[in-house]
Copies of this chain bind each other. A is one copy, B any other.
């Protein structure tokens, strides 16, 4: 846990750590994008490319014993919280050595040993689960927190308001981390969302901030304040991180969409604000790292990704019997 002093500016170690994590997510997902195009993935993938600073800035403030829930776009949350890329890739490949033994796939990557309750295919599905985990955390009395990552689209699900209410009433150590990436599936956010999301949380008296979700330090600061508040028993916080998904909603969309729903210029605008590029520039200009150091990080990551890819592709097919074992209701 970070002490009060650390809160305003991340240390060099933390910055590098975050850089590495963000780049890992990026490279893993670029690989997945290739794999998808090559027809190697059995299922669909929703990529997090462009949003990495949100998960990483948040999770840098968390320990393994803290809980997180993710979304359908959940690889970044998993990796940011310290999930191992190898079994994640194997999972997406549907293999027995996957983190969920091939039973869940991309939309359900989870690692309870790291506090990763998991991605979720139901939009808004993580909110109430997180509130439940936060209740458990509160009862445990060990200062854990529970963080829900959810999209701007999910913020229109009623369960968002319900959990704002119950987490406030019960002073749950819960953090609402809303990733406002400008789209709710294929709908521009403002066409499906009235008002400003932080105002919804403020109506419950919940401290709420909007941060530049492509600036990992900004996210990290807001996350730190929210985590402190939760750990000290003061209840929930809401953070809206403004960001953008560079890839499509789902990699397969090019195959099934007949129209377009956004302009190339818009994507380019956001590419210019790439969170990894920005952190990289900051690391270099502040002297925290030089090109060589960053190149070394990158080559390490590339090895990690290659090893993970290898691990996934050489994994055994999922064990079919497991389906029956895990779903057994003890039928006599």
A159 contacts chain B at the CB level, 8 A cutoff: yes
A195 contacts chain B at the CB level, 8 A cutoff: yes
Report yes or no: A169 in contact with B191, Cβ–Cβ below 8 A. Answer: yes
Q: Min CB distance, A183 to chain B, in Å? A: 16
Report yes or no: A162 in contact with B169, Cβ–Cβ below 8 A. Answer: no
Which B residues touch A165, using CB under 8 A?
Answer: 156, 193-194
Interface residues of A: mostly helix, strand, loop or mixed?
A: helix
Q: Min CB distance, A135 to chain B, in Å? A: 15
Which B residues touch A162, using CB under 8 A?
Answer: 156-158
A196 contacts chain B at the CB level, 8 A cutoff: yes
Report yes or no: A203 in contact with B200, Cβ–Cβ below 8 A. Answer: yes
Which B residues touch A168, using CB under 8 A?
Answer: 194-195
Task: Give which listed residue, B156, B157, B204, contacts A194 with CB less than 8 A.
Answer: B204
Known contacts A158-B158, A161-B160, A161-B161, A194 near B205 by CB under 8 Å: yes
A192 contacts chain B at the CB level, 8 A cutoff: yes
Task: Give which listed residue, B192, B196, B199, B200, contacts A169 with CB less than 8 A.
Answer: B192
- The answer for the CA separation of A194 and B159 in the assembled complex, in Å, is 15
Q: Min CB distance, A272 to chain B, in Å? A: 31
For A169, the closest partner residue in chain B by CB is B194
For A192, the closest partner residue in chain B by CB is B169
Ranked nearest first, the 9 interchain pairs of A and B with the lowest CB-CB distance are A158-B158, A161-B161, A199-B203, A168-B194, A195-B204, A194-B204, A200-B203, A158-B162, A203-B203
**Chain A contacts to B: CB under 8 angstroms:** 156-162, 164-165, 168-169, 191-196, 199-200, 202-205
